[in-house]
């Protein structure tokens, strides 16, 4: 079987451009809505949102690769890089490096892509690693770069990338295309089209020993941000992680052909859903501020603690709703006190109750 990079038409990708027309229009409209919504946030809320969304992307992009990062540590590290107030929480080398990459992307999204910028990203991402032969440079090993699964004695090969000796020339062609197709370049492309091709092309080359997925998603974010002339804060990795199985399946399918219409359509749908998630997070933060302002001076310490804990879960809140038992665990209240507090919160319009007795569940009234 031949992979896409072994076909005569590589790297000339083919698809019907009309398949993305509506998605491109919707993305640009949605970006305007996001910008408008963020204008309702004060400086502190805006900074909080930026750190929250960036840390979410950092954690979720690593989660796609099976790596678990501590969200609070990543948030603290990103806040430090951006010059915001922080609790100086200690981060592991992996968390610090991943956060540094995301902060660099946020600050320098408009800069051209270069070998050196990719080397710096890789060095950040591989911070603290001792098991790789090459860090901050393209791979050089002679053996094939393969994505495999299954037992060692009978591995299943999902993809094989171009040999290491071809990587410098492949990356020169890719980087040249990426910069030519940027806004203001000699051959600018629409946002989603450019991001989708860039991600697939980079993942095909697979130029580093490790970290290709995370860097490839950062490149897609860079492409979107350059078109919008501002950091996108699009929840791309978080959305991809929701559909991780489909993501790998679509990449695998696209690795066998340079007719990539299916990949382009799938990726465009992910981008639009990611943008909707971002807007939902912004609106949630706005409603959270209004919610707390409305209840200021009306809550006891237990109630305030419980509500803040619920709000920390984000727009989706507690899965299945808050129970009286949850309330007691959060606040340390007795059963009788918890019952009185929850009845009071419903009366104040802070919570909505569904169910009865031990099946009663409470959700935020935002």
Q: pLDDT tens per residue, the chain (366 residues)?
A: 799 999 999 999 999 999 999 999 999 999 998 888 888 778 887 888 888 889 989 999 999 999 999 988 998 999 998 888 667 778 899 999 999 999 999 999 999 999 999 999 999 999 988 889 899 999 999 998 888 776 666 667 889 999 999 999 999 999 999 999 999 999 999 999 999 999 999 999 999 999 999 999 999 999 999 998 888 778 899 999 999 999 999 999 999 999 999 999 999 999 999 999 989 888 888 888 889 999 999 999 999 999 999 998 887 777 788 999 999 999 999 999 999 999 999 999 999 999 998 899 999 998
What does pTM read for this prediction? 0.88
- Structural domain harbouring 345: 299-364
Domain assignment present for 289? no
Q: Which of 224, 258, 284 is the last residue of a domain?
A: 284
CATH at 321: 1.10.10.10
Domain assignment present for 213? yes
Residue 303 shares a structural domain with residue 248: no
Q: Which of 109, 118, 140 is nearest to 226 (CA)?
A: 109
The pLDDT of residue 224: 96
The pLDDT of residue 53: 87
148 annotated to bind ligand: no
CB burial string 258-272: b at 16+ within 10 A, e below: bebbebbbbbbebbb
| Number of domains observed in the structure of the chain | 2
**Cα 275 from Cα 216, distance rounded (Å):** 18
Domain assignment present for 63? yes
Quick one: tokens of 326? 């949850």
213 annotated to bind ligand: yes
Q: CB neighbours of 304 closer than 8 A, spacing ≥ 6?
A: none
Q: Which residues are catalytic?
A: 206
300 annotated to bind ligand: no
Q: What is the DSSP string of 261-297?
A: HHHHHHHHHHHHHHHHHHHHHHHHHHHHHHHHHHHTT
**Cα 31 from Cα 46, distance rounded (Å):** 16
SS3 361: strand
Residue 216 shares a structural domain with residue 328: no
**Cα 351 from Cα 361, distance rounded (Å):** 10
Domain assignment present for 175? yes
Cα 244 from chain centroid (whole Å): 12
Q: Which of 220, 254, 284 is the last residue of a domain?
A: 284
212 annotated to bind ligand: yes
Residue pair 350/295 in contact by the 8 Å Cβ criterion: yes
Residue 171 shares a structural domain with residue 216: yes
Taking only Cα atoms into account, the Rg of the chain, rounded to an integer number of angstroms, comes to: 23
214 annotated to bind ligand: yes
Domain assignment present for 4? no
Kindly report the backbone phi and psi dihedral angles of residue 160, in degrees, each rounded to the nearest multiple of 5, phi listed first: -125, 125
136 annotated to bind ligand: no
CB burial string 163-195: b at 16+ within 10 A, e below: ebeebeebbeebbebbbebbeeeeeebbbbbbb
Helix ranges (DSSP H) in 142-190: 167-180
Q: Which of 234, 261, 284 is the last residue of a domain?
A: 284
């Amino acid at each position: 079987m031949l992979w896409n990079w072994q076909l005569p038409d590589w790297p000339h990708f083919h698809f019907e451009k009309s398949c993305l027309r509506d998605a491109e229009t919707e993305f640009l409209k949605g970006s305007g809505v996001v910008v408008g919504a963020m204008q309702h946030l004060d400086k502190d809320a805006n900074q909080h949102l930026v750190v929250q969304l960036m840390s979410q992307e950092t954690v979720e992009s690593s989660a796609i690769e099976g790596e678990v990062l501590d969200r609070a540590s990543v948030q603290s590290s990103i806040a430090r890089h951006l010059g915001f107030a922080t609790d100086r929480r200690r981060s592991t080398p992996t968390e610090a490096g991943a956060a540094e990459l995301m902060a660099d992307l946020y600050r320098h999204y408009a800069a051209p892509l270069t070998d050196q910028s990719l080397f710096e990203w890789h060095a950040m991402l591989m911070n603290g690693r001792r098991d790789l032969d090459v860090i901050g440079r393209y791979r050089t090993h002679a053996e094939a770069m393969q994505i495999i699964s299954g037992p060692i004695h009978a591995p299943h090969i999902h993809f094989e990338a171009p040999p290491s000796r071809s990587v410098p020339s492949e990356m020169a062609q890719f980087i040249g295309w990426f910069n030519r197709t940027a806004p203001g370049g000699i051959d600018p492309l629409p946002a989603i089209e450019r991001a989708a091709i860039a991600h697939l092309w980079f993942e095909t080359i697979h130029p580093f020993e490790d970290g290709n997925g995370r860097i490839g998603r950062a490149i897609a974010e860079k492409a979107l941000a350059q078109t919008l002339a501002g950091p996108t804060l699009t929840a791309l990795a978080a959305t991809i992680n929701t559909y991780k199985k489909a993501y790998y399946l679509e990449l695998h399918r696209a690795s066998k052909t340079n007719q990539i219409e299916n990949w382009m359509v799938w990726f465009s749908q992910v981008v639009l859903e990611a943008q909707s998630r971002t807007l939902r997070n912004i609106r949630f933060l706005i409603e959270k501020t209004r919610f707390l302002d409305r209840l200021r001076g009306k809550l006891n310490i237990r109630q305030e603690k419980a509500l803040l804990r619920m709000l920390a879960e984000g727009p989706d809140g507690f899965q299945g709703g808050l129970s009286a038992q949850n309330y007691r665990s959060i606040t340390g209240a007795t059963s009788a006190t918890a019952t009185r507090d929850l009845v009071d919160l419903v009366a104040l319009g802070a919570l909505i109750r569904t169910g009865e007795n031990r099946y009663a569940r409470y959700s935020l009234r935002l």
